[in-house]
A and B are shown apart, each in its own frame.
Chain A
Amino acid sequence: MEPLDIANKIREKFPLDVADITGFRDQVFVSVKAERITDMCRYLYEDPDVSMNFLADLCGVDYPDRKFRFEVIYNLYSIKHNHRIILKALIPEDNPTVDSVVPIWNGANWHEREACDMYGIIFNGHPDLRRILMPDDWEGFPLRKDYPLKGKEGAEYRGFEELKELHTHDKEWNIS
């Protein structure tokens, strides 16, 4: 199927949830409301003509000036039919939550954890939502646009809390 046909199919099935359909080069992007994203993904996964069985990628994007600040990009590909469509779930800043698609694609697990780590987007129903690339006790969300590229001069990372506990005996063991 051509990507545009798939996009129109989504619009037919979910007329109230599709906000916009755009194209660039030969790829088609469908902006959708975040509420029914799992229904939409399950439909694309199960429909035999579309059969999006491969979640190529899932990531977040931050647009601080827009009404919906975050977007979660679902890059869906069908190994059976060799076609691709990219869904963009629009997520507001005051309630950055979206349902998890891990029940559909297991591969979404770590991608969602990373989006949570980098943007602070909460994925409802995720089996194990923790920070993944940054340390557990990190503050802030590094890939947000208002997060600075470089930290303050002279500031040091205060270290893992669990490591600090390990170092409580340093003095008595004469380790500096």
Chain B
Amino acid sequence: MNSEEHSALSGQPVDQATHFEIERFLVREARALDEERYHDWLDNMVAKDVIYQLPTQEVRYRRDRKTIGNAQTTYLYNDNYDVLAMRVARFDTGFLWAEDPPMRIRRYITNIDAQWADEEGEVDVWSNFIVYRSRAQRDNVSTHGRRRDRLRKTDGQWQLASRVITLEQRVIMDKNVHCFF
């Protein structure tokens, strides 16, 4: 595909074969995280220039059009590859009491919609999720949200180039959200 052909595709839904690959990628990624294979995730599924964000939302009236995400605003996650790696490294220290006994986490990924991005070999993917976290005896929480991902195909493999997560809950009904969505 030359660049002219590519730019004509930008914003168009991906073809069936590509959609299938992307869906498989997201499901495999979710399983790697469910199974706590964090290094596998980082090494094989996450691009080195990844941007991983979860902006904080405010409850405002419709007439109030202030946008979120400017320079001075809070994000629950605003990470690059090194910071994601640092989060993962905590598991390797042997000191991570909150994860020992381990949590049980299941991720459900739905409503996948993919379209060609403006960069060649990249796609924009929207998906909804439910993350079910169970801890200790009866500490069970479901978190719902949406992701807008940029995936990039490198050497025949899809990788996560960016992820912007939104959570619908304004007040997180959990003690924290320190898990990967």
A binds B: no
Residues of A at the B interface (CB closer than 8 Å) are none
